[in-house]
Amino acid sequence: MPSVTITRSRHRLLPDARRVLAKPYLPGEELLLPGPSRAAQLVRRLLEIPEAEVSALVAGIMRDFASRHRAFADLLEQHFGMVAHELDPGVELSLERRQLIGAYFTHEYSVEAAALFNPSIVPAPDQEHLGPGEQRVVLSLRAVGEGHLSSIEFRTGVLEAGGELHLDSPGPYLVAGERTPPSSYYKHRFSAKLRELGAENELSARVLAPLPQSFTLVELEASLTTLEGQGPPPAIWFETLKMIRVLASSNYVTKFPADSALAERVIFPAGPNETRGMEDARFVRFVADDGAVSYYATYTAYDGFGIFPQLIETHDFVSFAISTLNGSAAQNKGMALFPRKVGGRYVMLSRKDRENIYLATSDDVHLWHDVTPLHRPSKPWELVQIGNCGSPLETEAGWLVLTHGVGPMRRYTLGALLLDLHDPCRVIGELQQPLMEPDASEREGYVPNVLYTCGALIHAGQVVLPYGFSDAGIGIALISVPELLDQLSTAHA
């Protein structure tokens, strides 16, 4: 093992089944011949309950659940609104009956009941009211609940001048964001993704042709309606229409209540490409050429059949823009954006062939075509495959890239590369042995023998590395930067 000082901290973040979201619940619409939907039948049964009994039922629901959710009464009213169309016109209901109906169309989802792992860490937007040498941070976490559905959670904390991390209490509630369409779509990106999806044809071209270079969902739907009125071939039109709408709905905005704490917010899968989860978000604090700061995260959307690389953008961790990553270089898992442009271009690590690390560059953070092989597995501990462990960390010696390698017994261990600061296509340092591997306390879990991270940062001369172990929990390690860079330089000499 390399002679690098690595200190595992006392922190252990473990899954907590008490962290629940109150989500809409619609009973399965099994085919009923003849008759109305199950939702309609349930509403009718609820309308037959005497008003006095309604009051008692609502009181019990409030007693058992109100303390578990923020603004619970308002949430029940919202969920009632989902099925209000099942009522006959002109029917007026009491507030309590609306809440009761809302409760029957609500369920609790335990976001991290199955697993909590694969974190990343970035400096927080707010760095005010801190002591000398302190830094406020945001951690993203992959949480897995019922049905192996992955979502993105957050934690906050402060790094002391010496590197000690103090995590804030996550609080008693979880809240999901409100989803809305993006303010605009861009024609060149939309066309590129349709091409990747195999949906670029004469009909899709006719839909996009009358639209401006930047268009809204309303304008897109109007163009679809116009073309549909011209009677296109039904079979081709059905598939084209479906793919256009899938692509449009894969781009959206999730916004959270401004008065909610960051650790209460859960980015829950909402797009058609992520119906089975949002996996392994790699957050990075990105500084533009003019000094403007924003945050990006690449993640893997999974629909149960295929995987799709996607992008999250935020400035404040309140509003998150979700969009597709497009282009021939935006393939497979494990894309990670550099924290600034290099040579005037965006730069991204990728693993487009599932086994090797590549370097992609682009003038558009959403559209990637230029890609170059960077590093292939060569050591026994990485021969199955290798990938990045988050965005590169900038040092005076070069870009520090943490890697993960898969070796015998499907064991995941961490390594490191060093890339030239001005020409990141050049590998100028490489560890010959794993940097970290699961210790005896980290081997057991949902997926044994795994150590994995989605991003670290440098603070007080140390790499602050949150990592997932065996899909069972999260630990935090501190790694000496000078010693690690010395090992990388020595190994490459």
The reported pLDDT for the residue numbered 30 is 52
- Rounded Cα–Cα distance for residues 230 and 206 (Å): 11
Distances (CA, A) of 457 to 17, 313, 357, 393, 465: 29, 19, 20, 7, 7
Q: Which amino acid is at 385?
A: Q
Q: Determine which of 2-6, 73-77, 175-179, 241-245 has the lowest per-residue pLDDT on average.
A: 2-6
For residue 111, the cross-strand partners are none
pLDDT level of residue 34 (50, 70, 90 thresholds): low
Report the alpha-carbon distance of residue 297 to residue 143 in Å, rounded. 16
Distance (Å, whole) CA 461 – CA 396: 12
The percent of residues above 70 in pLDDT, for the chain, comes to: 97
- Burial classification of residue 255, based on how many CB atoms lie within 10 Å of its CB (0-12 exposed, 13-18 middle, 19 or more buried): middle
Rounded to a whole number, what is the largest CA-CA distance in the chain? 83
pTM for the whole structure: 0.94
Residue 352 buriedness (CB in 10 A; 0-12 / 13-18 / 19+):
buried
Q: Which helix (H) or strand (E) holds 283?
A: strand 278-287
pLDDT in tens, 215-265: 999 999 999 999 999 999 988 899 999 999 999 999 999 999 999 999 999
Is the pLDDT at 29 greater than 80? The verdict is no
Residue 434 makes CB contacts below 8 A (sequence gap 6+) with 1, 381, 405, 413, 414, 415
Name residue 71's amino acid: A
Q: In the 8-state DSSP scheme, what is residue 36? A: -
Which is nearest to 466 in space by CA: 235, 228, 282? 282
For 468, the enclosing helix (H) or strand (E) is: strand 462-469
Q: What SS3 state is found at 80?
A: helix
Confidence of residue 35 (pLDDT cuts 50, 70, 90): low
Cα separation, 119 vs 137, in Å, equals: 12
d(CA 388, CA 334): 7
Measured CA distances, 315 to 118, 293, 338, 457, 482 (Å): 22, 7, 17, 18, 32
How far is the C-alpha of 161 from the C-alpha of 230, rounded, in Å?
67
| Confidence label for 354 from pLDDT (cuts 50, 70 and 90) | confident
